[in-house]
Structure 1
Amino acid sequence: MDFSFKDLKTRLINSSGKPLPGEEAQYAMAPFERKLRAMESLQRKATRLSAVMILLYPRQGDTHTVLIVRNDYPGTHGGQIGFPGGKVEETDINLEQTALREMQEEVGWQAEQVRVVRPLTPLIIPPSGFLVHPFIGLSDNTPAFVPDPYEVAGILEVPLSTLLDDTIVKQKPIQLASTGKEIMAPYFDIDGHVVWGATAMMISEFKHLLHDLR
């Protein structure tokens, strides 16, 4: 499956009122331990709101998205790979603005360059208690990223053709930063980088959405 950016943009805009793939698509990339938990018990742990941006843009004839490698600070998400995003601030009008603001702060691409076309299914992060709201945004212009050195150790510009390649889906034991416990988890092997957990679950739903747009 190969979408030009122009074609993908049209399909995503036209899909805005259609149902999302939802939790079933997310759970295709969930760690086994998470699959054993009831969603009800997870809901009780979600006490804080955050949002992330799945930014899509053209580069060298392919549609790309961007992931960030977070600096290795103490805490649940230090050193992990994810979409640009973060917690809601009091000045944010809504969750969409949170995603845009955090994207601009973390990777340096201007929010006014991005058209948000639709949300994905919110996802709970049990270790941190965040309920994360992913948004899909489109930039007609190819970004010139300027990562925030305080928060971002590096960025990964990933072609959609890579994300849609099923051979990058793998599984291995992963150590949890929150507890030190080792669990078996599926992940995306993106140029040697391990993308797992909530980010992998968001990518999984996004991939299902792309397949539905064919």
Structure 2
Amino acid sequence: MRPACETGTAPPAPLDEAWLRQRLAALPPAAVPDWDTLLQRTPGSSRPHARLPRHAAVLVPIVPAPEPVVLLTRRSALLRHHSGQVSFPGGGLDPMDRDPAETALREAREEIGLDPATVGLLGRLPVQWTHASNFLITPVVGVLSAEARWLAAPAEVDIIFGMPLQQLLDPDAPRLIEGGLRHGSWSWPHPDHDIWGATAAILLRLARILREF
């Protein structure tokens, strides 16, 4: 049985940048939970790593017009880790990065050729912990200007595609996976791509925020 997601106020038509900014303006600073809190959020889990989680950031890029979409990537099949999985452009924090936003923008330039000057940052979503790979991921939401261009870097990304923002606002769209290795993970329907794991969880948080404020 598919659990119902929370509903919220109806979005305007069209979904524009002003509406997105209004929805995300009330976001609190992205707090980093401590280790014990992380384990408490995962029933039955135990400390799976000898070291503390590593920090990472991803860019959640929104193309605002004419029909808003969230850009996603499918990681190159040649990569050692998470090859072929759907993700946002992003990666580990570099010691030279001033904050997660700089990490997300730097990685987006490297992976999809996105010029940081064409990204208007809207805010951050709650930190996402990946239990298996032990990352604390800060999702940074940005809206792309009309001048924005993107092109997949073959060594890192196989394809770039868009997920309609309107689909995120459908409370019946996300599904909770039951059974198997993905048990307890969220997934989003797409005709061509398998969207699950941390990426699906980040999309779910964005969807709830856009619906609930």
Q: What TM bracket, shorter-length normalisation? A: 0.7 to 0.9
Partner of 1:102: 107
How far is 1:35 from its partner? 4.5
**More strand per residue:** 1
Match for residue 202 of structure 2?
Answer: 202
Match of 2:149 among 126, 129, 144: 144
Deviation at 1:43, TM superposition (A): 9.4
Structure 1 residues 196 and 174, CA gap change in structure 2 (3 angstroms): farther
Question: Are residue 14 (structure 1) and residue 18 (structure 2) matched?
Answer: no
CA RMSD of aligned residues (A): 2.9
Indicate how the Cα distance of structure 1 residues 43 and 206 shifts in structure 2: closer, same or farther if over 3 A, else same. Answer: farther
Opposite residue 78 of structure 2, the aligned amino acid is: Y
TM-score by length of 2: 0.77
1:36 equivalent in alignment to 2:35: no
Moved over 3 A (4+): 40-46, 73-76, 170-175
Cα shift readout 1:63-106 (whole Å, capped 9, x = no counterpart): 21100000123544111101111111232122110011111111
Q: Which amino acid is the alignment partner of residue 82 of structure 2?
A: H
One-letter amino acid of the counterpart of residue 22, structure 2:
R
2:123 to 98, 103, 118: 118
TM superposition shift of 1:139: 2.0
Unaligned 5+ segments in structure 2 are 1-9, 34-40
**Counterpart of 1:148 in 2: which secondary structure?**
coil
Which of the numbers 134, 137, 140 marks the counterpart of 1:132? Answer: 137
CA distance in structure 1 between the partners assigned to 2:155 and 2:91 by the alignment? 14
Does residue 74 of structure 2 align to residue 51 of structure 1? no
Give the % identical residues.
24
Cα shift at 1:157: 1.1
Q: Which runs of 5+ in 1 are unaligned?
A: 24-33, 176-181
The total of aligned residue pairs comes to: 193
> Which residue of structure 1 lines up, in the alignment, with residue 190 of structure 2?
190
